[in-house]
Every structure is written in C-alpha cells, then in structure tokens.
Amino acid sequence: MKEGSATAGLVLAAGEGRRFGGPKQLAQVDGQPLLEHALAAVSGLGRVVVVLGARAAEIRAGADLTGAEVVVCEEWAEGMGVSLHHGLAALAGADEVVITLADQPFISVAAVARVRSVPGPAVRAVYGGAPGHPVVIRRPLLDRIGELQGDSGFRDLSPDFVEVECGDLANPLDIDTREDLEVVRR
C-alpha cells in the first residue's frame, strides 16, 4: 500500500479462544464462522488484512478468507498489541485503518461508515457510552505502531479517542465462551 492510500480494514483473529475451548473464529452464527462476519463488516474497504495466530492453518481451512490478506502472528500469545503491530505493519502506508475483532459477529457496515465519518486521529464506536469496535486509527497515530507492546492497543498511546455512538447501528456483543454462543444462537 502506498502513501496516500485510502482506508484499509484490519481484523484481529489471532487468539487461541482459551475461554471458548477452541478456535472461536470458526464458531458458527447464522451458518457462518464468526471470522466471516467480522470480515463482512470491513469488506468494502480498499484492502483488508486478517491477523491469525493460534491454529492459523485450521482457521484458514475452516473460514472463507477470500478478499483478505492473511498475516500470521507467531507471537500471538504475547497479546493483542503484538497482533495489532503485525497487522498494521502489513498495512504500512495506509492513511486510515478500521480495526475490528473476529469474535464480534454483529458489527455492521453502517457502524464502520459512521466511525469513519468522524474526524480525528483515533475514533472508536461506543455502545451506550461503553467503548467498543470498530476503531479507526489515522496518521500520525499510525506512525507510532512501533510503540505497541504486549497486550496494549492504541488506547495506551492515545487516551483522547473521539467517541461516536453506534448502538443504533450494531450490536457489540462478543463471543468469548460457548455459553455466549448459545445465547446468540437463541
């Protein structure tokens, strides 16, 4: 991606799903793996990267990743900051990156569009005032990816996120356990 490029999407999907008891990225909701739902929310963006880690080969085989570039983060166990760093490094040169999580199947294209429409170096969706995803990171904050460590994200680099309410456009529910999945399926 060259300097001056448009928006890119980044889906973080590297975790092992320890509380879930396996690769939750492949858990089915409405006939699709969670990861495919997350990819659909950012599919209209110019370029999309998905970061895999634990069980990467199994997830690649079990989900349709068409249209996304896969980055495998071998250091996934070190935390989300490392996965985020790998994904953003793959998107070097992007002016704006929309970040979503693989375990949130109900983030909508409309929520992505609303968060993107708000100016500022760091913008995040909130739901009833509670911070969530999608998150948009823009330059010059993107230039600071080298500062990400361990389980930290951009919240540690920029406490001044612009927040935009998205509760009318998406559901921020994330699937962490099999019980969460059963609630969603009902």
Q: Hey, what domains does the chain have and what are their CATH numbers?
A: 5-185 (3.90.550.10)
Q: Look up residue 96 and give its two tokens.
A: 């704006």
For residue range 99-123, list pLDDT tens digits in order: 999 999 999 999 999 999 999 999 9
* Sign, Cα dihedral of 91, 158, 176, 116: negative
> Does this model's pTM top 0.85?
yes
Give the position of tokens 């429409």.
Answer: 117
pLDDT tens digits, 89-99:
999 889 999 99
Distance CA 23, CA 17 (A): 5
pLDDT above 70 coverage of the chain, percent = 90
134 and 71 Cβ atoms separated by less than 8 Å:
no
pLDDT(54) > 60: yes
What CA–CA distance (Å, rounded) separates 86 from 12?
10
